[in-house]
Amino acid sequence: MSEMIREKVTERFIRFAKDNTTSDPESKSWPSTERQRDFMIKLKAELQEIGLTDVDLDENGYLMATVPENTGSDSPVVGFIAHVDTSPDFEGNRVNPQFTRNYNGKIIHLKDGVSIDPAEFPELLQYKGQDIITSDGTTLLGADDKAGVAAIVTAAEFLIHDLKKRKHGRIRIGFTPDEEIGRGADKFDVKKFGVDFAYTLDGGEIGELEYENFNAAGARISIRGRSVHPGMAKNKMVNALLIANRIISMLPPAQRPEHTEKYEGFFHLTSLSGSVESAEMQFIIRDHDRFKFEEKKRLLKEVVQLMNLEVGKELVHIVMQDQYYNMKQQIEPVMHVIEIARNAMRLAGIEPKVKAIRGGTDGAKLSYNGLPCPNIFAGGHNFHGPYEFLPIPSLVKAVEVILNIAELAVSENWKTK
């Protein structure tokens, strides 16, 4: 059966990866790009062809479908969710997936001088002897989260055509747009989805099981300067770019992404543009600990206030907005959901790696909207750039874990937990 899964899920992932579904943080439309809707339309047709029921694509670009139950018992309704968009951080058009067969432990050379070197990415050596998928080096691969989409669709297909062998309750699957720009769960209809609990397939390496994530906020700082001829600038010029530089220098250097790991939070300057006359900065703020998260937000606001005091005018303005919160406190009362996933991984021959996400998933917002939704692996590494890779056996195991969860949920005495 594993070989059948491998063939199906690999073909499906390659096909999905070739579709450009990059989201756009500057867009006001829903979804943010029409190419995501185009992909959803094709995916809807595929789900109908497989034989799923209740296949519905709504006006906001959310796609849901059902695998009917085959037990006749009062078992929980379980959901599986993935996002179809890929990150705007790197080129997502004309993705050309490449196979490295029986990886030999050496550097994987791609186009334009891009190489995935185990000296820089030592996790690559875990997959020696396995088949690995990469991009050609000119784009990202899109395993975040086309791997999750492919795994869910493939598992649903196997459940539909294996009704007499594997007992399971009603299964709902859902696909969201715009997760990469923080909007993935914003218009997700939890009531319509109608499940008792769900899992996002949006994790990285094989075995990952996550029910903690960052608290997250975004901040946009606008700076108004005063441009004067530099030969006559004394006591007149206000250089917006230098104010931006001063703001950066006042934030703790140790709390930047490149210096943090595990439970350490950060300030991340994601963009800076401007001139002497005006400048704009965008930050994201992250921390697992809610108190430290609020302290980071307070510090950035205080830095802005201090800059206005230094220049003697209200030239610097900040708009800050919370994006999502740590799902941990929503999952802890229903830890049987985690135990089902643990057991499903062990049945697939995988030792679970319970860890905190240094990021967020749709599941974080969904958990706060009343749908417990931890995250499990889909197998990829090095997302959002040309160094991304996906070991095929990890993707196969993601499908097996979904199948095991579907079966285990029936046998769990979940309502008494």
**pLDDT of 3:** 87
pLDDT value of position 97: 96
In whole angstroms, give the CA distance from residue 137 to residue 21.
Answer: 18
d(CA 210, CA 150): 20
What 3-state class would DSSP assign to 398?
helix
Q: Which residues are catalytic?
A: 85, 179
For residue 74, give both structure tokens. Answer: 């009062």
In whole angstroms, give the CA distance from residue 363 to residue 126.
28
pLDDT bin (cut points 50, 70, 90) of residue 417 is very low
CA–CA gap between residue 266 and residue 163 (Å, rounded): 48
Judge whether residue 413 has pLDDT over 80.
no
| Residues forming a β-bridge with 267 | 285
Per-residue pLDDT at 412:
56
Segment 239-296, tens digit of pLDDT = 999 999 999 999 999 999 999 999 999 999 999 999 999 999 999 999 999 999 999 9
Is residue 31 pLDDT above 60, yes or no?
yes
Domain boundary assignment for the chain: 2-213+326-416, 215-324
Residues 310-346: tens digit of each pLDDT = 988 899 999 999 988 999 989 999 999 999 999 999 9
Residues 6 or more apart in contact with residue 226 via CB below 8 angstroms: 236, 237, 238, 276, 277
Task: Please list the helix, strand and coil fractions of the chain in percent, rounded to the nearest 5, in that order.
Answer: 40, 25, 40
- Cα 381–384–388 angle (5° rounding)? 35
Q: What are phi and psi of 13, to 5 degrees?
A: -60, -45
pTM comes to 0.86
Percent with pLDDT over 90 in the chain: 86
Beta partners for 279? 223, 274
CATH class of the domain whose range is 215-324: alpha beta
CB 237 within 8 A of CB 227: yes
Buried/exposed 38-75: b ≥16 CB within 10 Å, e otherwise: ebbeebbebbeebbbeebebeebbbbbbbbebbeeeeb
Confidence of residue 17 (pLDDT cuts 50, 70, 90): very high
What does the pLDDT read at residue 165?
Answer: 79
414 pLDDT higher than 60: no
Instruction: Count the neighbouring beta carbons within 10 Å of the beta carbon of residue 285.
Output: 24
* pLDDT, position 415: 46
Sequence letter at residue 401: V
Could you say which DSSP state residue 333 is in? Answer: G
pLDDT at site 416: 40
> pLDDT per residue over 383-399, tens digit each?
999 999 999 999 999 99
Residue with tokens 């899964």: 5
Distance CA 287, CA 236 (A): 40
User: Quick one: 312 exposed, middle or buried, by C-beta within 10 A (0-12, 13-18, 19+)?
Assistant: exposed
* pLDDT above 70 as % of the chain: 98
pLDDT at 359: 80
Specify the 3-state DSSP secondary structure of 79: strand
Mean pLDDT confidence for 2-6: 88
Q: For residue 215, list its beta bridge partners.
A: 287
Q: What is the mean pLDDT of the chain?
A: 93
Topology adopted by domain 2-213+326-416: Aminopeptidase (3.40.630)
pLDDT for position 243? 95
For the segment 55-70, the average pLDDT, to the nearest whole number, is 95
Tens digits of residue pLDDT in 126-167: 999 999 999 999 999 999 999 999 999 999 999 998 755 788
- Output the pLDDT for position 332: 92
Structure tokens belonging to residue 43: 């995916």
pLDDT of residue 251: 97
